[in-house]
Structure 1
């Protein structure tokens, strides 16, 4: 075993063979720099077997072949002296990199799906909010007005109607008493005086018949709110008889002189009747204020 190692160490290397052939041919390094396109230091490294400083093993083999061609010697025995190339590294790192790339691609797809789902949720929420938003422009500041305003107005109208009825009742009773007492007085008067006494009564009766019936000029609006909506109503005399936000399930009845000017925030959730007759307001565009007159124009 020791003899074989000694023999191997005694054998000249590739660089030593090149240097020996050059010296035997009596050729200097300077004369080889031009044909080989190598510097003197590179040629010295080649003859000193310092291959790692000359680049990859493929380049070193090319330098040796050109070197041998200039010396007219066979390059095969010298190339055989070159050390064996190092074994290729195991692709363990490459496999790890592949796994990492695959994991990153999977994470990217997962993030993309998450962004798509998030965008769908945000878009659906925005669409739902837009569809359910009440399109009230300048009246938004009055949305929070309580229903007590309208209730107070209704109570005031009720009190006014009761006071008018109470005022009319004594006048009616007085007229009844006058009519019942008149025949008795007629019996005690001469015929001419009785005729003259009954004439003013007939004139008053005729005047009362000719007076316009104010009750017939009053109309009643009934609204049933299936959902929360804003409402404002003015009668024909310009008086506001309804105003505010009405909650779902609220039934509203107001009276006044027609024609009425009506504004509804959500007309599609309100059922409207005029003097007991239903009014069709389904033709107005949704998600917009409905402004119309009652009774509706033909």
Structure 2
């Protein structure tokens, strides 16, 4: 029974054989039918030899068969039914690529957030540094007010100590000179002794000394050294204060808020408006040309 079925199936004509049989019955050559189908004679031969794999996808082959039968005016439904069904499209693999892309985007987002955080820290640090450097001078000098007062007290005590030392030196010098002088010279020593105070007073008056007058329109910190390195002014001055100091020029001046201070040197006004505001102004008096 099985052998008969196998033999029957083997005797059943194929699609290509059926097409070739219909073409020969219609007395149509291969070249004649190839022209309207827009196929080469080789392709028509492959179609009749059931070499469908050489003609492309099964869908294209069915189209060739349908056009072939239309040219021969043959029903193509039975012949197309003998063709194998087109293969089902393969199912897409698991969405691993999408998951990986999503994970990559999440990692990129975290990296971008971390970069923004670092950038914010850098900007904040820069802003804090700029704010500290642009802080008004009153805040910058608040920590040294106590030291300023101590320095002022020491400076106030120094003149009396120096005067005592100078008096002791003068007395010793006078005694030594009197011990070495002859009786005739002793009389002259009294006259010299009388002129010593006058000479010392004259020494304190320096023809090259200059006078600085500062008018403070608001509270400001000031520090002044003369050419000898002596500190002639130091501390915070209140609004409305007028300060007058003298010394040997040139003077080294540091002002906290120079825009609230007007200065005259030996009666001549000094222009310090060119210095930047909210910063310590350091300059020499007289100003360099």
For Structure 1 versus Structure 2, the TM-score category normalised by the shorter chain is: 0.5 to 0.7
Instruction: Name the counterpart of 1:169.
Output: 168
Partner Cα separation in structure 2 for residue 97 and residue 258 of structure 1: 85
The range that moved more, 11-20 or 1-10, is: 1-10
Partner Cα separation in structure 2 for residue 210 and residue 87 of structure 1: 122
Instruction: Name the counterpart of 2:247.
Output: 257
Instruction: Name the counterpart of 2:41.
Output: 40
- The alignment partner of 2:253 has SS state of strand
Partner Cα separation in structure 2 for residue 165 and residue 110 of structure 1: 77
**8 Å Cα contact 1:241-1:256 kept in structure 2:** no
- The alignment partner of 1:12 has SS state of coil
Q: In the TM superposition, what is the alpha-carbon distance from 1:34 to its structure 2 partner?
A: 1.3
Instruction: Name the counterpart of 1:61.
Output: 62
Partner Cα separation in structure 2 for residue 31 and residue 207 of structure 1: 147
Deviations 1:151-189 (A, max 9, x none): xxxxxxx999966642323647999xxxxxxxxxxxxxx
**8 Å Cα contact 2:14-2:50 kept in structure 1:** yes
Q: In the TM superposition, what is the alpha-carbon distance from 1:4 to its structure 2 partner?
A: 4.7
**8 Å Cα contact 1:232-1:240 kept in structure 2:** no
Gap regions ≥5 residues in structure 2: 135-156, 175-190, 212-221, 232-244, 258-274
Instruction: Name the counterpart of 2:265.
Output: none
- The alignment partner of 1:92 has SS state of coil
**Any residues of structure 2 matched to 1:1-298 within 5 Å, and which?**
2=2, 3-93=4-94, 95-128=95-128, 165-169=164-168, 171=170, 233-235=224-226, 238-241=227-230, 257=247, 260-263=251-254, 285-286=277-278, 288-291=279-282
Q: In the TM superposition, what is the alpha-carbon distance from 1:37 to its structure 2 partner?
A: 0.8
Q: Relative to structure 1, is the Cα distance of residues 13 and 211 closer, same or farther in structure 2, using a 3 angstrom cutoff?
A: same
Alignment coverage as a number of residue pairs: 204
**8 Å Cα contact 2:228-2:248 kept in structure 1:** no
Q: Relative to structure 1, is the Cα distance of residues 106 and 9 closer, same or farther in structure 2, using a 3 angstrom cutoff?
A: farther
Partner Cα separation in structure 1 for residue 229 and residue 161 of structure 2: 21
- The alignment partner of 1:262 has SS state of strand
Q: In the TM superposition, what is the alpha-carbon distance from 1:10 to its structure 2 partner?
A: 3.4
- The alignment partner of 2:113 has SS state of helix
- The alignment partner of 1:89 has SS state of coil
Q: In the TM superposition, what is the alpha-carbon distance from 1:24 to its structure 2 partner?
A: 1.7
Q: In the TM superposition, what is the alpha-carbon distance from 1:79 to its structure 2 partner?
A: 1.0
TM-score (ref. length: structure 2): 0.53
Q: Relative to structure 1, is the Cα distance of residues 105 and 166 closer, same or farther in structure 2, using a 3 angstrom cutoff?
A: closer
Q: Relative to structure 1, is the Cα distance of residues 209 and 168 closer, same or farther in structure 2, using a 3 angstrom cutoff?
A: closer
Instruction: Name the counterpart of 2:261.
Output: none
What is the alpha-carbon root mean square deviation over aligned residues? 4.8
Instruction: Name the counterpart of 2:268.
Output: none
Q: In the TM superposition, what is the alpha-carbon distance from 1:72 to its structure 2 partner?
A: 0.9
